[in-house]
């Protein structure tokens, strides 16, 4: 199978440059950092000193679902940044360095090339995300109170849809531009614009993928799944699919030029 | 100071994984740096960055320290 060969090449490459080690570790660290530091905040403030004698420090402890959302919001910023940066050169870098021509000198299908690239980063994302959220869930149960494991899994699955969209966007830009920096910049800008537009036109864009995190917050708090989370996720997946299709088409057109 | 030490001892089970993960991240970055033939910028600077800047140092190295 050609597809598995390319995938294997990608996985080996990402293993050799330690992406399979450092990305999961970083995801775990950013997921657990906020809940832990919130838990210890009263002690930290107390030992930092500078407060007059007898000051009462009364910071309300977040409930488990709020603590879980701290992890999600960290992932939403730093996680998104890291995913963008590690995948920004995956195709454009190969075009630049000439590896791309070497690969396509063989009868490699563009579809296989693009989807295998996408899948290798998708796999890395899924593994890192689940490890990060699992660690965060463990700490939240330890420090803040019970949160059902099934809730964590469901939330993680929906959140994965959002990150899937992100990777698909980065892959699409990879086939359009040569500079990895520009690709990362445009991907981030796209995500920011999407989030801002969704915030402004919140009442009309109920199905926007950028709202997935919001719906996850509601789900973790109440335990009920909004119908809209299904539509948001479905749209995220459909847009990802079309991004990949566009990526394949634009690579094919590039070859004709 | 002593209070702080007992505090850390009491919470070791909670904090230990955090330190271990940071340590692994640092070691991996150092191994990668050792293998890296032509890093962007001098090696000794990267070594200092990786060792002395928690978490962020290794991440910055992995992202910006290598030539593609």
The answer to whether the Cβ–Cβ distance between B59 and A26 falls below 8 Å is yes
The answer to whether the Cβ–Cβ distance between B29 and A22 falls below 8 Å is yes
Q: Does residue A187 contact residue A88 with C-beta atoms inside 8 Å?
A: yes
Q: How many CA atoms lie within 13 A of A210 on its CB side?
A: 17
B65: nearest CA in chain A?
A: A17
* Average pLDDT taken over every residue of chain A: 92
Q: Does residue A63 contact residue A145 with C-beta atoms inside 8 Å?
A: yes
Q: Which residues of A touch B22 (CB under 8 A)?
A: 29
User: A151-210: per-residue pLDDT in tens?
Assistant: 999 999 999 999 999 999 999 999 999 999 999 999 999 999 999 999 999 888 889 999
SS3 call for A207? coil
Query: A79: closest CA among A149, A135, A21, A126?
Result: A126
What's residue A14's pLDDT? 94
Q: Quote the CA–CA distance of B54 and A29 in Å, as a whole number.
A: 11
What's residue B2's pLDDT? 64
The answer to whether the Cβ–Cβ distance between A18 and B17 falls below 8 Å is no
What's residue A104's pLDDT? 82
- Bin A89: left if φ > 0, else alpha if -120 < ψ < 50, else beta: alpha
DSSP state of A211: G
Residue A52 confidence class, pLDDT cut points 50, 70, 90? confident
Q: Quote the CA–CA distance of A206 and A7 in Å, as a whole number.
A: 36
A180 touches chain B (CB under 8 A): yes
A143: nearest CA in chain B?
A: B14
Q: Mean of the pLDDT values across residues A75-101?
A: 92
User: A115-144: per-residue pLDDT in tens?
Assistant: 999 999 999 999 999 999 999 999 999 999
The answer to whether the Cβ–Cβ distance between B29 and A143 falls below 8 Å is no
The answer to whether the Cβ–Cβ distance between B68 and A180 falls below 8 Å is yes
What's residue B8's pLDDT? 72
ipTM summary value:
0.89
The answer to whether the Cβ–Cβ distance between A22 and B68 falls below 8 Å is no
A26 touches chain B (CB under 8 A): yes
To the nearest whole Å, the CA of A25 is away from the closest chain B CA by 7
Helix (H), strand (E), coil (C) string for A19-77: HHHHHHHHHHHHHHHHHHHHHHHHHHHHHHCCCCCCCCCCCCCCCHHHHHHHHHHHHHH
Say if residue A48's pLDDT is above 90: no
To the nearest whole Å, the CA of A211 is away from the closest chain B CA by 29
CA angle A102, A108, A111 (to 5 degrees): 125
């Amino acid at each position: 199978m050609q597809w598995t060969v390319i995938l294997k090449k990608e996985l080996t490459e990402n293993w050799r440059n330690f992406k399979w080690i450092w990305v999961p570790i970083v995801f775990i660290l950013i997921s657990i950092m906020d809940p832990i530091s919130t838990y210890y905040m009263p002690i930290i403030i107390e030992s930092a000193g500078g407060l007059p004698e007898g000051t009462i420090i009364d910071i309300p402890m977040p409930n488990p679902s709020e603590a879980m959302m701290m992890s999600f919001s960290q992932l939403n910023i730093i996680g998104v940044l890291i995913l963008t940066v590690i995948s920004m050169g995956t195709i454009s870098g190969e075009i630049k360095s000439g590896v791309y021509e070497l690969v396509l000198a063989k009868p490699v299908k563009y579809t296989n090339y693009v989807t295998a690239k996408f899948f290798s980063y998708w796999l890395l994302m899924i593994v890192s995300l689940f490890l990060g959220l699992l660690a965060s869930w463990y700490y939240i149960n330890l420090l803040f109170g019970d949160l059902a494991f099934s809730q964590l899994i469901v939330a993680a699955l929906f959140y994965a849809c959002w990150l899937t969209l992100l990777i698909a966007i980065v892959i699409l830009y990879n086939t359009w531009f040569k500079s990895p920096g520009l690709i990362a910049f445009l991907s981030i800008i796209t995500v920011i614009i999407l989030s801002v537009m969704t915030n402004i036109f919140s009442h009309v864009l109920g199905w926007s993928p950028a709202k997935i995190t919001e719906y996850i917050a509601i789900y973790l708090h109440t335990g009920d799944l909004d119908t809209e989370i299904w539509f948001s996720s479905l749209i995220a997946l459909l847009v990802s699919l079309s991004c990949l299709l566009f990526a394949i088409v634009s690579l094919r057109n590039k070859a004709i030029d | 100071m002593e209070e702080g030490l007992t505090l850390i001892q009491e919470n070791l089970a909670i904090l230990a994984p955090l330190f271990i993960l940071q340590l692994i991240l640092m070691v991996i970055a150092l191994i990668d740096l050792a293998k890296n033939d032509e890093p962007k910028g001098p090696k000794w600077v990267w070594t200092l960055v990786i060792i002395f800047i928690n978490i962020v140092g290794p991440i910055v190295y992995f992202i910006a320290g290598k030539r593609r």
